[in-house]
């Protein structure tokens, strides 16, 4: 993993597509959720462990997504996740979803890009500061790009 971004690949299944055979728009948010989870896992932050030991979770508060092209059944997608902000009770990620070229496994087409904002919340949904134990791992991998 680079110090500023994480790449995660997944395949498009039939269940991800709409009646027209293209990935249903809301499913890009699911792919991005997986990308953020794998980003955190790569910096040794397991979300279930954080909930158990610290009593907090991360909830999406805002999603600004721009769709550029469509993914189709059996495409391999690469989700690029970059942490851009981690302070107080807030986290922010910039994410991109790319279609991978079928023959040479390089990025082919940018399909969607988003800025996702999250809040650190306790089990009752009240905002809480990001636990101090998580900040070093987040800060090391945080991009300086706004």
Residue 18 has a pLDDT of 93
Asked whether residue 1 is domain-assigned, the answer is no
Residue 61's pLDDT band (cuts 50, 70, 90) = very high
122 part of the active site: no
Residue 1 has a pLDDT of 39
Asked whether residue 146 is domain-assigned, the answer is no
Residue 124 has a pLDDT of 95
Q: Are 98 and 108 in contact (CB under 8 A)?
A: yes
Q: Are 100 and 78 in contact (CB under 8 A)?
A: yes
Given the residues 16, 18, 48, 75, select the one marked as catalytic.
Answer: 18
Asked whether residue 113 is domain-assigned, the answer is yes
18-22, 73-77, 122-126, 140-144: least confident range:
140-144
The boundaries of the domain holding residue 94 are 6-141
SS3 42: helix
| CATH code of residue 26 | 3.10.129.10
Q: How many domains does the chain have?
A: 1
């Amino acid at each position: 993993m680079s110090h500023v971004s994480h790449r995660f690949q997944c395949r498009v299944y039939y269940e991800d597509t709409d009646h027209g055979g293209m990935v249903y728009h809301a499913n890009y948010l699911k792919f991005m959720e997986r990308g953020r989870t794998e980003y955190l896992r790569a910096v040794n932050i397991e979300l279930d462990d954080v909930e158990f030991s610290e009593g907090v979770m991360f909830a999406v508060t805002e999603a600004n997504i721009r769709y550029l092209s469509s993914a189709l059944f059996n495409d391999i997608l690469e989700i690029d996740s970059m942490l851009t902000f981690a302070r107080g009770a807030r986290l922010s990620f910039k994410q991109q979803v790319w279609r991978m070229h079928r023959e040479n496994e390089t990025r082919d087409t940018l399909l969607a890009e988003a800025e996702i904002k999250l809040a650190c919340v306790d089990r009752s949904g009240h905002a809480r500061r990001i636990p101090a134990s998580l900040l070093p791992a987040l800060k090391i991998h945080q991009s300086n790009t706004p």
